[in-house]
Amino acid sequence: ARNQWMLEWYFGPGRTPQTVSDRDLLQWMEDWGPDCNACGEGAERFFARGGKMIVVGGLEDSVVPYPSMIDWYERAAEEMGTLADLEQSCRLYLLPGRAHGQGRGCGGIVGDTQIIVDWVERGVAPFEVKSPLRGGGELSVKPYPHNWTPKAALGCAIRNI
């Protein structure tokens, strides 16, 4: 499957979510958590070595509701010092009308790989990004909290449909 690469990379060829045990996951978190955790010391080390993170979530996500994502982002900003400090390394994009995951879910942002490459290698930080619409076209989205409220986000979606 398309998203099995991490399972196979860490646990070995042929591993699936059904064959990874709770013990396996706990070992993975112990081994990689300090360097991959999005909060705390792992995030500080990640950002200190120039790491960049783009977080994309849907306003209709029932798995990770957007208020939880906003809470995480604001706590991360406090840990980094200020929102402006966090924005040097991390951007949060909340997409109207999107749920969790790819396909009929979140849908992601157009050119996401090139956006992160430009940010890391050329110092060009993303601001307004595009997200594909199911019926064609694209939705322009600015990172949280720039001009952002749930009502404004919904209006943005309606104007771009």
Q: For the whole model, what pTM was predicted?
A: 0.70
pLDDT tens for 83-93 read 999 999 999 99
pLDDT tens for 21-54 read 888 878 877 887 666 665 556 677 778 888 898 9
46 vs 89: CA distance, rounded Å:
9
**Residues contacting residue 28 through CB under 8 Å, at least 6 positions apart:** 10, 11
66 vs 138: CA distance, rounded Å:
21
